[in-house]
Amino acid sequence: MLRATSLFITLGLSHSAWALVPPDYQEPPSDFSAEIEAGLQINTGNTESSSFNGRTKLVYDTDKFRQEGVFKAYFASDSEKTTSEKYDVQLQSSYKIYSGYIFARGDFTEDRFGSYTRISTVSTGYGFDAISGDSTKLSLEVGPGYRYNLPQVSESVPDPEADREIILRTAAKFEQKIHEYTSFNADLTAETGEANNTVTLDMSYKNTLFQDWAFKIGMNIKYTEVVPEGSKQTDTVTTFNLLYTFK
C-alpha cells in the first residue's frame, strides 16, 4: 500500500511539472547580446599586409536605454617586423524617447602605422529610425562633437602637434535581412570640421552556417581629406571572419 501511494504521488508531481513546463517551452529573450569574431585581414592604403583581426560587440538593450560597445584589434607582421597594429573602441549610450533617441558616443583609435596614430572623438546628438521593418532598418544620427588627432611622426615633422577641433557628426546605419540566414549591414559616418573632414563606410555581409555560428565578410573604408606628408587619404581594411553570437 505504501509503495502504491508513493508511485501515485510521483506520477502526480511529474504530471504537474509537465503542465508547468511544456515541451515547447523556450527561455524569454535576453536584453543582452554579444558577437565575437576573428579571421583573416587584408590591408591596403597606408598599410600593405595580411594577417588576423578580432572584434567583440556587446549590446544591452532595454525599453528606455541601449548601451553598445565595439572593440576591434588588428595585428599583422611579416618575416622581419610588425607591419600593422591598430585598436578601435566605440562606445555609445542611447536614451529612447517617443520620436527617436538621444545619444552620447565615444570613438577611440590607436594606430601605430596610420596617418594619425591617435584619434579620439566624442559626440552627442539625436537619432531616429527612418525605416523600422522586419527585414529593412535605417537609423539616422546627427550631432556636434570634439575630435583629437595626433599625426604620425615624419622626417620633416619629428614632433607633430595634435589637431583639436569642433566637428559635426552625421551617420546612417542600414541593415537589410536578405533571407533567414543572410544579412547585409552598412554604416556611413561623416565628421565635418573646419580643418579636416572624414568619411567612413563600414560594410559587412553575414551568412549563418549553423545555429549561432556565421561567416562574415567585412570592409571598412575611411577617407581623410587632410593627412600628413607621405600618407594616403584612403585606408581600406577587408576581413573574412568566423562569427559567434550569443544572448
Nearest to 100 by CA among 70, 143, 60, 69: 143
* pLDDT interval class at 49 (50, 70, 90): low
Domains: count for the chain:
1
% of the chain residues with pLDDT over 90: 63
Pick 29 or 202 by higher pLDDT: 202
Evaluate whether residue 18 is within a structural domain. no
Q: Which long-range contacts (CB under 8 A, 24 or more apart) does 138-143 make?
A: 138/172, 138/173, 138/174, 138/175, 139/172, 139/173, 140/170, 140/171, 140/172, 140/173, 141/103, 141/169, 141/170, 141/171, 141/172, 141/173, 142/168, 142/169, 142/170, 142/171, 143/103, 143/168, 143/169
Please tell me the predicted confidence (pLDDT) of residue 48: 64
Whether 204 has a pLDDT exceeding 50, the answer reads yes
Evaluate whether residue 99 is within a structural domain. yes
Question: Average pLDDT of the chain?
Answer: 87
What's the mean pLDDT in 140-151? 96
Please tell me the predicted confidence (pLDDT) of residue 8: 45
Please tell me the predicted confidence (pLDDT) of residue 210: 86
Evaluate whether residue 231 is within a structural domain. yes
% of the chain residues with pLDDT over 70: 85
Q: How far is CA 21 from the centre of its chain?
A: 37
What's the mean pLDDT in 70-88? 85
Pick 123 or 48 by higher pLDDT: 123
Please tell me the predicted confidence (pLDDT) of residue 82: 81
Evaluate whether residue 15 is within a structural domain. no
Please tell me the predicted confidence (pLDDT) of residue 41: 65
Please tell me the predicted confidence (pLDDT) of residue 2: 44
Distance CA 247, CA 245 (A): 7
Evaluate whether residue 14 is within a structural domain. no
Please tell me the predicted confidence (pLDDT) of residue 45: 76
What's the mean pLDDT in 150-177? 90
- CATH classification at residue 222: 2.40.128.130
Evaluate whether residue 23 is within a structural domain. no
Distance CA 88, CA 54 (A): 11
Whether 237 has a pLDDT exceeding 50, the answer reads yes
Please tell me the predicted confidence (pLDDT) of residue 26: 53
Please tell me the predicted confidence (pLDDT) of residue 11: 47
What's the mean pLDDT in 68-83? 85
Please tell me the predicted confidence (pLDDT) of residue 202: 97
Q: How far is CA 103 from the centre of its chain?
A: 16
Is the full-model pTM beyond 0.75?
yes
Pick 213 or 27 by higher pLDDT: 213
Domain, as residue range, for 102: 31-246
Evaluate whether residue 2 is within a structural domain. no
